[in-house]
Structure 1
């Protein structure tokens, strides 16, 4: 299932109306410590999407009671956008760069959130992309189409890079997502000489390892940050919400580009994370996105940290 452009625009209109009513995003913040690794989770605002974007392929008679239990509307989704910042020694690392000003009217506040921590774009030394969807990539450039983080080096999974930079992707991805491909190619081409590609399982920086979590996009990566015996996994969109994705990880979601593969990835990841009690940071999970995966009698649950 793909999201028709008119449905996405309708969601954006709802978001604009919400802003008019005073429902503004704020630079929410959480802090985690892994030894001498300092991790902050900051806000890039939020999105507003029609529920059909995710829920249409799902069995509606089973879906609605789960949504009601979680207080989640079947009509509108308003997921937060949580960006991870890691500081260690002389490195200041961002995992994704948010949506920028051109994707959704209530997102694009990453610079304000970083400024609240005393971090400027010039301070960022490294940027690691989980994938190249607009709300993770389009904050890359400034108003003059120059890289917003001028001192940074960039890293992305090899499969993800090859997919979005393939000229055939613009036509093959489908009309509803064609603008995603155009936007990704334009932005990635601006940093082509500064980007390093990595593979599944690779330690791409000290204490940061790549974990292929494909399906949401063809080369989606989660990143495990480890310091001694402590670890946290930056999920990106491999687990995209804190309700249906946990309660029924094997269900097909309309938000995924390869829904069957994404469902298999999600189920396997849930099993691992719950078994190992791994702390997670989810880009679209509730609040600041930090917490744990708990195994329940009939699925999983997200246990958010205060």
Structure 2
């Protein structure tokens, strides 16, 4: 497997591009080859989140040394949003589609990143969702509420679809997430006639196997991209950051809907990827999201590719 880091917009070129995007810069951040598959991570920008969204349930005495080691300050968190693009000569596949232009001003750059990568929306043959949170699903519609990828077949785990499609979800989800449920249902209705469902363990496309990674949402899915003995795991938000999630994966995160299940999922993934030397792509990991997992005593460390 060959991995190289690239920044498509740098120096004067970046300045020019930013002017054209109203000050926002789109990046195709990382690239990999895996057999006949070309894998690229595309930036959808970043989120701006209050720190307590993740850290509120965690013991402050356990967080302090991790914050000091990783330079986590007291201000808001600004995690990257990394959409995975897979091209194999026959298919052009997106894993998630970003948040579109209506969620946060700092996000919604996927179309610009696709342009930089030379991919038109009409080229996308498949869109595969990890889960239905806004920064992964809401970009499926354009500014006119029409599906953005007109030639694509949409694919989602059955359990994830069932949860957000259930009319009771908007009433039973915690109140801070009600908008998520309403927004998810509206976008799902727009693609319901062109959706394929899958379950844990299924090969959903050649070289792409679904992996249940429940907890962050009830039906969250990861995906193992494999060619021969080599593989890359697209983990979505099951490993949501490069600091606490690795240094103390057992801690319950406020960003997860089922915190206990999410913690068990996270620990199992990290153990497997460290033991089996499986590379990963994390939606909110830094530097484009590609890297690998190293053991660090009783915990783990994220090592970006090229570091």
**TM-score (ref. length: structure 2):** 0.91
Instruction: Quote the offset at 1:26 in angstroms.
Output: 3.4
Look up the match of 2:41.
41
- Given that residues 28 and 117 in structure 2 are in contact (C-alpha distance below 8 angstroms), is that contact kept between their aligned partners in structure 1? no
State the SS of the aligned residue for 1:191. helix
Look up the match of 2:106.
106
- Distance in 1, matches of 2:56 and 2:181, equals 23
Alignment of 1:301 with 2:298, yes or no, is no
Look up the match of 1:233.
233
Look up the match of 1:277.
277
Unaligned runs of 5+ in 1: 1-21
Deviations along 1:224-245, one digit per CA (max 9) or x if unpaired, are: 0001111100010000000000
- Distance in 1, matches of 2:252 and 2:102, equals 29
- Given that residues 28 and 116 in structure 2 are in contact (C-alpha distance below 8 angstroms), is that contact kept between their aligned partners in structure 1? no
Look up the match of 2:220.
220
**TM-score (ref. length: structure 1):** 0.91
Alignment of 1:175 with 2:171, yes or no, is no
Look up the match of 1:118.
118
- Distance in 2, matches of 1:207 and 1:141, equals 27
Look up the match of 1:13.
none
Instruction: Quote the offset at 1:25 in angstroms.
Output: 4.3
- Given that residues 44 and 107 in structure 1 are in contact (C-alpha distance below 8 angstroms), is that contact kept between their aligned partners in structure 2? yes
Look up the match of 1:204.
204
Instruction: Quote the offset at 1:23 in angstroms.
Output: 8.1
Deviations along 1:86-139, one digit per CA (max 9) or x if unpaired, are: 001221000000000011110000000010111010000000000000000000
- Given that residues 216 and 238 in structure 1 are in contact (C-alpha distance below 8 angstroms), is that contact kept between their aligned partners in structure 2? yes
Aligned residues: 285
Q: 1:1-306, aligned counterparts within 5 Å?
A: 24-306=24-306
State the SS of the aligned residue for 1:171. helix
- Given that residues 26 and 110 in structure 2 are in contact (C-alpha distance below 8 angstroms), is that contact kept between their aligned partners in structure 1? no
Deviations along 1:264-288, one digit per CA (max 9) or x if unpaired, are: 1111111101000101000000111
- Distance in 2, matches of 1:303 and 1:117, equals 25
Instruction: Quote the offset at 1:74 in angstroms.
Output: 3.6
Instruction: Quote the offset at 1:144 in angstroms.
Output: 1.1
- Given that residues 55 and 74 in structure 1 are in contact (C-alpha distance below 8 angstroms), is that contact kept between their aligned partners in structure 2? no
- Distance in 2, matches of 1:25 and 1:258, equals 34
- Distance in 1, matches of 2:23 and 2:239, equals 25
Instruction: Quote the offset at 1:24 in angstroms.
Output: 4.4
State the SS of the aligned residue for 2:281. strand
